[in-house]
Structure 1
Amino acid sequence: MRILGINALFHDPAAALVVDGIVAWFQGRSEYGPRALGHRSLLAHPGRAENLERLNHVKGREEFRPVAPMVAADRAHELFAGPLPSPYMLFVHDVAGEWRDRIPAVVHVDGTARIQTVEERQEPLVARMLRGFERRTGLPVVVNTSLNTAGRPMVDDPRDALECFGSAPVDLLALGPYAVRRGRAFA
């Protein structure tokens, strides 16, 4: 395990996602409510359909459970039809036909997704990670689900985050100003 400082934080999560790593994202204040909105999240590459199964395996939950796309607010209209902005994942949106095959991990069987739009001025760290991922892949979306595992509540404090990272098949933990990663190096 390597712990890297703040400069690594902005590079490593996007780089880990590009090479199909799973990222535990622990930033800022705790979230309250029915959805993970970018403070306590598990993130993955949306372009690989099998990442839905991988995330459900990490979380120890049923295979049919959906995950959500997290998308930059200024790009959402290109990919999704429905009420925008949608910062709290309250609405189901139709996924544009040309994007369904490009982001299969977040598309429900009926061609919809429950999206979260991210405004840079409100969530600068998440927005920066999304931009870094898009620069490398051309995809303005990452997979988002809550940071917890089977039978456990949402990760709430740094100790919980480290325990989750140590016990689950997660490749990188973005914890405050630090990036903690397994031995494998990312490009």
Structure 2
Amino acid sequence: MLFVFDVRDEMKARIPAVTHIDGTARVQTVNRAQHPLYYDLLAAFRQRTGVPVLVNTSFNTRGEPMVNTPRDALESFWTSPLDALVIGSFLIEKPGARA
């Protein structure tokens, strides 16, 4: 589901990538029954950072079309500033990327 909520003042600095100029954020919710792997990822991120939020965005770089295949993803990844890429159960990391 998709909702729009006001971002609490104390969270705006912690989640600037999801906070719109008007102080709102579009929120998509997930529960464990809907998608256990994604839910567990969110829970682990929250435990590690204290932030129960991940950015959900399109995967493409400036001037390039949207990524549609694993090959597209790999090509875009290697020419982007991203440190890591997950495709299914595979984790690809660039040499020297922060863990």
- Please indicate the TM-score interval, normalised by the length of the shorter structure: 0.7 to 0.9
Is the CA contact 2:84–2:97 (under 8 Å) kept in the aligned structure 1? Answer: no
- Give distance in 1, aligned partners of 2:97 and 2:83: 10
Paired position in structure 2 for 1:146 = 58
From the two aligned structures, give the one with the greater strand fraction.
Answer: 1
Residue among 59, 65, 87 paired with 1:175: 87
Q: Which has the higher contact order (CA 8 A, sep 6+)?
A: 1
* Cα distance per residue 1:102-145 (max 9 Å; x no partner): 32222112111112112222222221211111111111012221
- Give distance in 2, aligned partners of 1:163 and 1:102: 31
- SS of the residue 1:170 aligns to: coil
- Give distance in 2, aligned partners of 1:105 and 1:154: 20
Task: Please list every run of 5 or more consecutive structure 2 residues that lacks an aligned counterpart in the other structure.
Answer: none
Q: Could you say what the CA RMSD is over the residues aligned between the two structures, in angstroms?
A: 1.8
- SS of the residue 2:61 aligns to: coil
1:106 corresponds to 2:18: yes
- SS of the residue 2:63 aligns to: coil
Is the CA contact 2:7–2:19 (under 8 Å) kept in the aligned structure 1? Answer: yes
Task: Give the deviation of 1:186 after TM superposition.
Answer: 4.2
- SS of the residue 1:144 aligns to: coil
- Give distance in 2, aligned partners of 1:124 and 1:172: 21
Q: Give 4+ residue runs of structure 1 displaced > 6 Å after superposition.
A: none
- Give distance in 2, aligned partners of 1:137 and 1:127: 15
Task: Calculate the TM-score normalised by the size of structure 2.
Answer: 0.84
- Give distance in 2, aligned partners of 1:110 and 1:185: 34
Task: Please list every run of 5 or more consecutive structure 1 residues that lacks an aligned counterpart in the other structure.
Answer: 1-86
| Number of equivalenced pairs | 99
Deviates more, 1:150-159 or 1:139-148: 150-159
Percentage of pairs with the same residue: 53
Is the CA contact 2:83–2:98 (under 8 Å) kept in the aligned structure 1? Answer: no
- Give distance in 2, aligned partners of 1:123 and 1:162: 24
